[in-house]
Chains A and B, each alone.
Chain A
Amino acid sequence: MEAIFAQFLNGLDKGGAYALIALGLTLVFGTLGVVNFAHGALFMLGAFCAVTFRRLLTLEQVTVSETELTPWGSPLEIRVPYAEQWFGDFGQVLIDYSVPFSILLAIPVMLIIGVAMERGLIKHFYKRPHAEQILVTFGLAIVLQEVVRSFFGANPIPQPIPSSLVGAADVGSWLGMQANQVVYPWWRLVYLLFSVVVIGGVFAFLQFTTFGMVVRAGMADRETVGLLGINIDRRFTIMFGLAAILAGLAGVMYTPLLPPNFHLGMDFLVLSFVVVVVGGMGSLPGAVAAGFLLGIVQSFASMTEVKAIIPAIDQIIVYLIAVIVLLTRPRGLLGRRGVMEN
């Protein structure tokens, strides 16, 4: 029982990341009709926003000691981060909380990247077949990841969890179970909460603002909205920026869980497409639901008891679900009838 509950939490947590990425992917597909294979790269870029932010904060003043030597024989270097020199204690706090603070950097950066991508490249591909969209964005994904590799190297760069959020929460005791039966790391809980809040925010934005209303109308019938004299293109550009921000934020907050490297995007890309397809191309609630669903299913599949019955099911369960959904219900779990049904 406890084991199942713990895996359930794990699944929610994974699902949070999947849902955030898939939501952006679906926004782009639903509004612009573009299949974006570079979306994983946006996730990766977000993660590297956190890395960059921390690098900036921890820029150090290096003084080489004249007399002292390290045990391995080179001159001793004394390093003090500028942030600590200038801001004192606050600087230390800033460094400690660099991951959440880097959201502040990630939002504008990702927005610019997203808008630049749409204006510079994607907009020329609206009228071209899906296959060509896949190809050009696949090429873009390679370019982006190689640029990151040339600046940050090939190795993963670990990002610390803020010191007050290290360790695990006794989730079981909150629910009246025995103490220490179900524990879960604080940061993963934060991630889950974060993803829920962001997803909620996006839906509220689309539901309750005029901008959102126009966008939803545009998703349903682009031409009519255009005929009404509304500049739908500009709104869609902003939606692309929003999708980039979503992927970026998912990446920023994920860094303490998984040290990012240049290949992170490709690792998540296939999975996020599977999520979108299972949820239904172009369906926002579908993307979110499928994200959480697949996260949970994947977690349960990796339980020893399950693997004892079907070996290695944890490795393939996600793809298996995608295949079954595509064959039996190609519009996806929550997809609208008639959208991409062939």
Chain B
Amino acid sequence: MSKLKGGLSRRKVLKTAGAGLVTAGVAPSIFVRGAWAQEFCNNPTGDTVTLGFNMPLTGAYADEGADEQRAFELAVEHLNGGGDGGMLNTFSSKTATGNGILGKKVTYVTGDTATGSDAARDSARRMIERDGVIMLSGGSSSGVAIAVQGLCQERGVIFMAGLTHSNDTTGKDKKRYGFRHFFNAYQSGTALAPILGEQYGTQRRAYHLTSDYTWGWTQQESIKNATEALGWETVETVLTPVGAGDFSQYITPVLNSGADVLILNHYGFDMVNSLTQSVQFGLRDRQANGQDFQIVTPLVSDLMAQGAGDAMKGIYGTSNWDWQSPDEASQAFTKSFGAKFGQPPSQAAHTCYVQTLLYADAVERAGTFYPPEVIKALEGFEFDGMGNGQTLYRAEDHQCLKRVHAVQGRENPQSNFDRLETVAVVERDVADFDASLFGGELGPYDAAAC
């Protein structure tokens, strides 16, 4: 059962209340901070350290959430010295010894974000206040990531974002306490545009169906810019609510719009539904403007490809990672994951697993759980052996720079997990972008005592 945590000690209550009363009426916004140099939110004092994993276990992105949960379980097992160690053996930084983090055994709690910001924030607060987690990770939606990241900044708890692809996560809404390993929509555009140009030519008219929230907006913008640079024309962009289910009313107008490419800025079950329904409407058998009609899914994962089945065949998209990558690290992770769960990991699982390891390593290198020091250890950190080649955690925006994959739906999959094939690996220097491109401010390092 749950236990009472530091945030509640009687002494601290009196202290906080007292401090507040003294300053009451003097200055409108006062921070309670700084008074405790090394006393910070959920400082692990026992012989265990608790991590919090906040995932969509229900809702439109529930599939990715389930896979993230597996990855976290595996990461914790590896950190505690169980299993075959997975990527700990290939990771360039050799701090982790399978002895927990700083000698403390790693335990974890989980929460359900229900694929929504409100619920995610609730469950994150629960984990910070009730379960006393020192770090939060997970999530499969940028809306959720941004909401939770804001909370983490307030509470002084580090957030290692799971799957979030919006430019805003490490752009407009970036936070000092938030870190993203996953790539972003802009990089998808960079990776995808050359292939689209090569395959479909430069005389194309595109129609966008877009999830109506931060990720959808930025992906639409990035893909639109990238394709328009090729010479494509954008006919129409339509926003669809998350979890719409039946997309037929949005697909019907595509037929007679004069477009010859449909770009689906959807994710999770939304994309599974919109893609299969588009195929049901015969879009892929169509001719428009004298060319074959095409569908593009800029961000795609194995799980969605499984859900969409044959509808996925031949369709181009991008991924953060592919379990079939030949490098040693990817293979070690895939093997260890496959042995435990009987299926290969998805890109969501990969990014969550890596983020957990990176956090543990940063704490080891900092020699303390004190968040400002851990943050400094992560900022500007160069590493290798995590499945994406040489990688940099950029200090300016907390975005990982690494290679990304352009993928295509396989025509003849060998198994249900073999539905995507990497057609091009876009190297880090190509996928790089200016850190100031998407604005935002990181905010202060100060650790709040919650």
- A positions within 8 Å CB-CB of B: 2-3, 6-7, 10, 13-14, 70-74, 154-156, 158, 160-161, 166-168, 180-185, 187-188, 257-259, 267, 298-299, 302-304, 314-315
Contacts and interface: CB of A to CB of B under 8 A. Distances in A.
Interface string B264-275: 000001001100
24 contacts: A2-B255, A6-B256, A7-B249, A10-B248, A10-B252, A13-B248, A14-B248, A71-B344, A71-B415, A72-B335, A72-B344, A73-B334, A73-B339, A74-B342, A156-B269, A158-B272, A158-B276, A166-B280, A167-B282, A183-B286, A185-B282, A188-B280, A257-B246, A258-B246
A180 B415 contact: no
Given A72-B417, A155-B63, A10 B249 contact: yes
A185 B255 CA distance: 12
A168 B241 CA distance: 25
B381 interface: no
Given A73-B338, A74-B338, A267-B245, A187 B252 contact: no
Size class of B's contact patch? 35 or more
B359 interface: no
B200 interface: no
Contacts of B269: 155-156, 259
Contacts of B255: 2-3, 6, 182-183
B272 to A, nearest CB: 7
B249 A302 contact: yes
B337 A314 contact: no
A156 B245 CA distance: 10
A188 B276 contact: no
Contacts of A304: 236, 238, 253
B62 A155 contact: yes
Given A2-B256, A182-B255, A188-B280, 8 more contacts: A7-B253, A71-B415, A72-B417, A73-B339, A154-B57, A158-B309, A180-B287, A298-B249
B250 interface: yes
B371 interface: no
Nearest to B307: A158
B203 interface: no
Contacts of B246: 14, 257-258
A314 B252 CA distance: 14
B58 interface: yes
A302 B236 CA distance: 14
B248 A188 contact: yes
A180 B286 contact: yes
Nearest to A6: B252
B248 A3 contact: no
Nearest to B56: A154
Contact of A72 (B59, B236, B323): B323
A70 B249 contact: no
Contacts of B62: 154-155
A189 B269 CA distance: 24
B281 interface: yes
B38 interface: no
B434 interface: no
B280 A70 contact: no
A26 to B, nearest CB: 23
A55 B271 CA distance: 24
Contact of A183 (B245, B250, B273, B281): B281
A302 B251 CA distance: 10
A248 B309 CA distance: 26
Nearest to A2: B256
A181 B256 contact: yes
A253 B62 CA distance: 24
Contacts of B417: 72
A175 B362 CA distance: 68
A7 B253 CA distance: 8
Contact of A161 (B241, B280, B324): B280
Contact of B241 (A71, A167, A315): A315
B198 interface: no
A299 B255 CA distance: 15
Contacts of A181: 256
Contacts of B429: none
A182 B253 CA distance: 11
A188 B256 CA distance: 19
Nearest to A187: B280
A314 B249 contact: yes
Contacts of A72: 323, 334-335, 337-338, 343-344, 417
Contact of B335 (A73, A182, A184): A73
Interface in B211-264: 236, 238, 241, 245-246, 248-250, 252-253, 255-256
